[in-house]
C-alpha cells in the first residue's frame, strides 16, 4: 500500500517551500467552483445526500470542498484507522476491510482533484470508495458520523500546524539569542513612550523578545496537548451501539487520549480558540519587534538587509522595511480571525451545527500567516546590522542617565524622592555635573560632593558605566546578559527536544497505522 509517511513528508516540504501559495489557496474562504469540475461539482450526488439533496441553488453555498484539500490526506488516515478498528472488532470482516483499504489506496493515488463531487471531502472520499469497492465500500462509515470524523480530521491536521508554529518560534528565539550574544555589550538607548529613558544594550533588548517568544512557545505547547485528543467514535453526538474501540483508533492516529464525552467530542471547538489565541498572541509579540526595528531603522540605529527591504517604484533612494510592516499587519489579521472564530462559536447550541464549518478556516489562515511572519521576523533580526557608533551616541540623549544619578544619591542615604526631585531640576538646565551641583544646593541644601564623589557622578552620567552598574538579575549589565543567554540556550534546547518528541510520537503512530493496514493488503 502507499505509505502515509510519504505524504506527510511531502506536506511538510510543501509547507516549508510554498507558504505563500498555500496561504493564497486557502485564504479566500468558501468560494464554490463551477459545476462540471471534478472535485468541486457541488451539483453532483454523493452517497450522503443522494438524489434528494443533490440539487438546488444552495448546494455550492453548503460545500466546503475548496477548503478541504488541506485535510485530504488526513481524512484518508482517519478512514484507515477506523476501518482497521472495525475489522479488529469484527464489525467488518477481513475481506471487506481489504476491499475498503484498497479503494482508499486508489483514491489517494488519484489525488484530491480526481474526487467526485461532494458536499465535503469526507463525503467525496466515501463516494469514491463506494465507486471502487461497490456496496462493501458503504461499510466504511459504520459506527461513525461525519461529525466525529470532521472533528478528528481537524485535530489531526491542526497538530502539524501547531508544531510548525512552535518550530518557527524556536527559529526566531535562536536568531534573537545569537545576535544578543554578539551585541551583549553594545550600548543603545532604551525608550519608554518613545522618549529616551535609560541606556541599555542590544543584547538586553533582544533577550527581552526572546523571553516573550519563549512564553508564546509554551502557550502553543499547552494548546497542542488539548488539541491532541481524539473525538473519533463519538458518532453524531450520542455514541454508537457498535462495539467500537475508541482507544484503538486514538492510538493508531497518534492521539494522547480521548475527548471522553461524545457530545462534547463533536461539539467543542475550544481547541481552535486556544490555538488561534496563542497564534494571535505570538503575532502581537512579533509585531512589537517589527515596529521597534522599523523605528530604529528610521533613526539610523540599525540597517535591515536588502533581503528584508524593498524600494520605491518612483523614489530610487528609498529603502523601505516592507516585510516588517507586513509582519505588523499579520497581528491584525490574526486578531480578526480570533474574533471571527469566537463570534461564530458564541451561543451555538449543542451538539453539531453547520456554523462550525466556517470556524475552522480561521485556524488554518492564522497558522499559515503567523508562522510565515515569525520566520520573516527571524530572518530580518538575524541579518540586520546594528550601528554601534550611532547607538552609543544616542544612548545618552535626553539625559537618559538621570535615573543612575538619582540611584547613586539614594545609595548615599538621600531619600529617593528627594534625589528624583533634584535630578529633575538639574535636567532643565543640562545633563552635566555643574547643573546637578546647582540643583543639589537648591533641593538638598548642600553641594553635591557632600553626598557623593564627583568621579562617581561622572561615571553614573556615562551610558556604558550606567549599564555596567545594573547587575540585578535580568538587567543589562554584561554578567546579567550572559546569564540570560545561558537561560535562553537551555530553554530553547528543552523546547527543541519537546518538539522532536512530539514529532517522533506522531511518526511512530503513522508507522503503526501503516503496519496494521498492511495486514489487509
Identify whether the C-beta of residue 346 lies closer than 8 Å to the C-beta of residue 141.
no
Q: What is the DSSP letter of 144?
A: -
Residue 312 catalytic?
Answer: yes
Residue with cell 521597534: 292
CA distances 249 to 76, 83, 212, 254, 305, Å, are 13, 9, 37, 9, 49
Please state at what angle helix 360-383 crosses helix 146-182, rounded to 10 degrees.
10
Q: From CA 393, how far away is CA 388, in angstroms rounded?
A: 9
Of the candidates 193, 204, 427, 472, the residue annotated as catalytic is 193
Q: From CA 125, how far away is CA 104, in angstroms rounded?
A: 8
Closest CA to 341 of 324, 358, 354: 358
Q: From CA 105, how far away is CA 107, in angstroms rounded?
A: 5
Cα torsion angle, 318, 323, 328, 332, sign: positive
Of the candidates 5, 17, 28, 312, the residue annotated as catalytic is 312
Residue 371 catalytic?
Answer: no
Q: From CA 352, how far away is CA 264, in angstroms rounded?
A: 10
* β-bridge pairing 195-201 and 229-230: unpaired
Closest CA to 271 of 353, 115, 136, 151: 151
Q: From CA 499, how far away is CA 510, in angstroms rounded?
A: 17
Residues that are catalytic: 193, 312
Amino acid at each position: 500500500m502507499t505509505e502515509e509517511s510519504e505524504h506527510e513528508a511531502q506536506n511538510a516540504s510543501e509547507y516549508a517551500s510554498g507558504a505563500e501559495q498555500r496561504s493564497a489557496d486557502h485564504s479566500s474562504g468558501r468560494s464554490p467552483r463551477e459545476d462540471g469540475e471534478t472535485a468541486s461539482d457541488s451539483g453532483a450526488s454523493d452517497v450522503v445526500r443522494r438524489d434528494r439533496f443533490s440539487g438546488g441553488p444552495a448546494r455550492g453555498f453548503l460545500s466546503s470542498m475548496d477548503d478541504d484539500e488541506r485535510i485530504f490526506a488526513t481524512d484518508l488516515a482517519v478512514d484507515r484507522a477506523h476501518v482497521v478498528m472495525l475489522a479488529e472488532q469484527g464489525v467488518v470482516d477481513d475481506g471487506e476491510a481489504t476491499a475498503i483499504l484498497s479503494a482508499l489506496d486508489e483514491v489517494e493515488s488519484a489525488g484530491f482533484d480526481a474526487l467526485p463531487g461532494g458536499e465535503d471531502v469526507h463525503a467525496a472520499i466515501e463516494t469514491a470508495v463506494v465507486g471502487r469497492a461497490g456496496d462493501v465500500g458503504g461499510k466504511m462509515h459504520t459506527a461513525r458520523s461525519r461529525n466525529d470524523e470532521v472533528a478528528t480530521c481537524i485535530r489531526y491536521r491542526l497538530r502539524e500546524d501547531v508544531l510548525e508554529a512552535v518550530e518557527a518560534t524556536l527559529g526566531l528565539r535562536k536568531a534573537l539569542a545569537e545576535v544578543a550574544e554578539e551585541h551583549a555589550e553594545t550600548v543603545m538607548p532604551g525608550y519608554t513612550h518613545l522618549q529616551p529613558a535609560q541606556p541599555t544594550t542590544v543584547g538586553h533588548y533582544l533577550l527581552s523578545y526572546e523571553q516573550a517568544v519563549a512564553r508564546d512557545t509554551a502557550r502553543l505547547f499547552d494548546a497542542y496537548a488539548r488539541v491532541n485528543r481524539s473525538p473519533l467514535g463519538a458518532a453524531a453526538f450520542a455514541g454508537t451501539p457498535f462495539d467500537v474501540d475508541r482507544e484503538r483508533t486514538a492510538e493508531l492516529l497518534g492521539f494522547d487520549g480521548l475527548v471522553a464525552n461524545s457530545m462534547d467530542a463533536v461539539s467543542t471547538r475550544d481547541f481552535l480558540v486556544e490555538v488561534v489565541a496563542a497564534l494571535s498572541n505570538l503575532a502581537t509579540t512579533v509585531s512589537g519587534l517589527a515596529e521597534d526595528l522599523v523605528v530604529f531603522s528610521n533613526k539610523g540605529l540599525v540597517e535591515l538587509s536588502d533581503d528584508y527591504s524593498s524600494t520605491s517604484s518612483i523614489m530610487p533612494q528609498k529603502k523601505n522595511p516592507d516585510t516588517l510592516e507586513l509582519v505588523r499587519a499579520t497581528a491584525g489579521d490574526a486578531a480578526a480571525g480570533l474574533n471571527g472564530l469566537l463570534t461564530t462559536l458564541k451561543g451555538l447550541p449543542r451538539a453539531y451545527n453547520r456554523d462550525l464549518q466556517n470556524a475552522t478556516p480561521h485556524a488554518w489562515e492564522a497558522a499559515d500567516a503567523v508562522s510565515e511572519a515569525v520566520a520573516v521576523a527571524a530572518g530580518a533580526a538575524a541579518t540586520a546590522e546594528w550601528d554601534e557608533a550611532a547607538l552609543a551616541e544616542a544612548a545618552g540623549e535626553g539625559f537618559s542617565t538621570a535615573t543612575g544619578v538619582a540611584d547613586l544619591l539614594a545609595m548615599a542615604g538621600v531619600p529617593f524622592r528627594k534625589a528624583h526631585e533634584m535630578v529633575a531640576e538639574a535636567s532643565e538646565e543640562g545633563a552635566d555635573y555643574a547643573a546637578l551641583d546647582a540643583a543639589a544646593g537648591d533641593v538638598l541644601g548642600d553641594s553635591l560632593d557632600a553626598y557623593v564623589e564627583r568621579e562617581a557622578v561622572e561615571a553614573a552620567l556615562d551610558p556604558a558605566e550606567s549599564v555596567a552598574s545594573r547587575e540585578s538579575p535580568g538587567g543589562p549589565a554584561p554578567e546579567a546578559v550572559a546569564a540570560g543567554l545561558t537561560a535562553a540556550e537551555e530553554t530553547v534546547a528543552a523546547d527543541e527536544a519537546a518538539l522532536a518528541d512530539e514529532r517522533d510520537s506522531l511518526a511512530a503512530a503513522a508507522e503503526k497505522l501503516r503496519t496494521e493496514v498492511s495486514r489487509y493488503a
